[in-house]
Chain A
């Protein structure tokens, strides 16, 4: 038979208390984060004729447009964002911090501000848009505008992540690669990019997810027209005018799509990290 001292007992009570507090906090947070998601799916499954709505042209048009535009946006973000991230990671020049902040700005700006900005720049009375318009090129209210809006809001997510990846791998690897006969570009492609790949992929997934959810800048700059500029988020907003059924179904599709991509990426990344 062991007798515990008062001190031991006090410690034990304290520990139990801490564990309980942490558990309660986690539970509240978990419920808060999950309930809205679960609620949408539950309502959609119970109260809607899910498959009828999913196969309606409004929904399929929006889904197709979203997939096409986000794919193009992703390619643009990666093609232009990778060199930017690399240069920002590897060089320091006057105004570096300023430029860096500017790149991050779309993350904190309300998307509507981004949309307004795009309109002021590329709209037909815009700084660049007016001369373009005189040449007969007008981008506002076209699918191109959707891609531009998505690229604008999503690129910082990719650039940030890619930049962190390049910074973490350090330039010594590329130095060595160059002494071994690679040009700067060769070292970038054969060493820097593959080494930073997990960060590049993570950034690409985040950017894609952001583009998929993009609403404010799109509706501002591209307007809302079924099949042309009405992506899934815009369709959800528009269809709310007709009731909640279609929005619920579209939201469910969006949730399932985003969740699967994020999950698949996570599993893939874990495997990639294990082999590295």
Chain B
């Protein structure tokens, strides 16, 4: 259990955050310059915050009020900075074993072997960081941080230094490692896909303040304010389970409905069904409306919120569903809260994220 309240000013920038993480992975998501890295550094103890109280599993890491600041080396935090900061003068083994000096030779070797196997770098173990790819470096950094069995793992933009093609599989690797070691984690990112894939809870950090803290579905379907909405993008996010796969299309059970969607999943997978509101079309609930869309869901309008030139229509289809329509459509359809509508969208518009 991490409990953090941090206030810190650096020049014009003021950070003022308070959040907790009961376990699992907390993703702090926000645009660059929001104070994400500062937050991590304050927890890691490599930055002295102006005023803070941070506790980890009941241990006080920092309490400026009582003048307590535990040295970094005693905090039991695993810190993976954005550029990984691998020790260039050491091999993969040397890096992974850096924090294990307290162990005996044999125990140390065993632990290094264990971690190297965990991240799958057995072949690279004698290489120096220079000779590794971005993804390999990231895994070394992860193994090095996990080797000391930290009480919490702090990952700063772990995928930003990796090429896009390699990123997806790396995200899966990291998800697997985190699941296997069951280490509580705080991960900061500006990327929504990473947040959705890895986060059990999300904290949206904008301009030094936490704007919203909650489950990914809560935050993406019901952003707390305009700025959060503008940053995360409004989306329908519903939890479901893959039932069958046919012709490359997955049938996903979401509540009472079955949604057709593209995506590389296997039957039985729990998934998040993501749908951008501009991809959702609304029509009257009459039979025989000509459309090529695979998915046709009856829904009830809950709320209509102006959003720039558009209107955001929040509906209930057994799960929260959002659509963006023009003022003209609103008038044509004569929509108001409580109106029944038919929401339609293509299978290809659905984005599945495996959980």
Contacts and interface: CB of A to CB of B under 8 A. Distances in A.
B22 interface: no
Given A191-B87, A276-B128, A176 B73 contact: no
A261 B20 CA distance: 59
A181 B148 CA distance: 9
Interface in A175-197: 175-183, 186, 190-191, 194-195, 197
B99 A175 contact: no
A172 interface: yes
Given A172-B81, A172-B83, A276-B130, A178 B73 contact: yes
B352 interface: no
A44 B41 CA distance: 63
B99 A181 contact: yes
Nearest to A178: B72
B180 interface: no
Contacts of A181: 73, 99, 101-102, 148
B72 A276 contact: no
Contact of B44 (A170, A171, A175, A183): A175
Given A175-B85, A276-B88, A180 B148 contact: yes
Nearest to B154: A179
Interface in B19-67: 41, 44-46
Interface string B140-180: 00001100101000000000000000000000000000000
A23 B62 CA distance: 64
A38 interface: no
B148 A178 contact: no
A173 interface: yes
B78 A179 contact: yes
Contacts of B81: 172, 175-176
Interface in B88-102: 88-89, 98-99, 101-102
Nearest to A170: B85
A169 B351 CA distance: 42
Contact of B99 (A180, A183, A195): A180
B220 interface: no
Contacts of B130: 276
B236 to A, nearest CB: 39
Chain A's interface: helix, strand, loop or mixed, by majority? Answer: helix
Contact of B88 (A171, A180, A195): A195
Nearest to A183: B73
Contact of A176 (B71, B79, B101, B102): B79
Contact of A175 (B79, B88, B150): B79
A173 to B, nearest CB: 5
Nearest to A175: B46
Interface string A125-144: 00000000000000000000
B77 interface: yes
B83 to A, nearest CB: 7
Interface in A62-83: none
Interface of B: 41, 44-46, 71-73, 75, 77-81, 83, 85, 87-89, 98-99, 101-102, 128, 130, 144-145, 148, 150
Given A171-B46, A176-B81, 16 more contacts: A170-B85, A172-B85, A175-B46, A175-B72, A175-B85, A176-B79, A176-B85, A176-B144, A177-B98, A178-B72, A179-B78, A179-B79, A179-B145, A181-B148, A190-B98, A195-B89
22 contacts: A171-B46, A172-B81, A172-B83, A173-B85, A175-B41, A175-B44, A175-B85, A176-B79, A176-B144, A177-B98, A178-B71, A178-B72, A178-B73, A179-B44, A179-B46, A179-B78, A180-B144, A180-B145, A181-B73, A182-B73, A276-B89, A276-B130
Interface of A: 170-173, 175-183, 186, 190-191, 194-195, 197, 275-276
